[in-house]
């Protein structure tokens, strides 16, 4: 899944984040896209989120995760 924040911690800052898993299905990291409000659409179902999720799934597969959800 993808987490999204819009100014929750710092006014005007938006972010999307997605977990990365290893062969044990243990979260070993995350990739986060961070920017100023208006630079991209922080919708967790939008195009940036889809690309981010695809990148995290690819990296997880590269680390041996057998399945991604």
24 and 63 Cβ atoms separated by less than 8 Å = no
- At residue 6, the pLDDT reads 85
**Closest residue by Cα to residue 20 from 49, 58, 60:** 60
- At residue 68, the pLDDT reads 52
DSSP code, position 31: E
- Taking phi over 0 as left and psi of -120 to 50 as alpha, with beta for the rest, 15 belongs to beta
What does pTM read for this prediction? Answer: 0.84
pLDDT digits 0-9 by tens, 22-63? 999 999 999 999 999 888 888 999 999 999 999 999 999 999
């Amino acid at each position: 899944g993808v987490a999204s924040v819009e100014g929750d911690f710092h006014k005007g800052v938006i972010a999307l984040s997605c977990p990365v898993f290893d062969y044990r299905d243990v979260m070993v990291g995350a990739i986060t896209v961070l920017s100023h409000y208006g630079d991209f659409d922080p919708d967790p179902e939008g195009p940036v989120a889809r690309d981010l999720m695809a990148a995290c799934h690819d990296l997880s597969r590269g680390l041996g995760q057998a399945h991604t959800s």
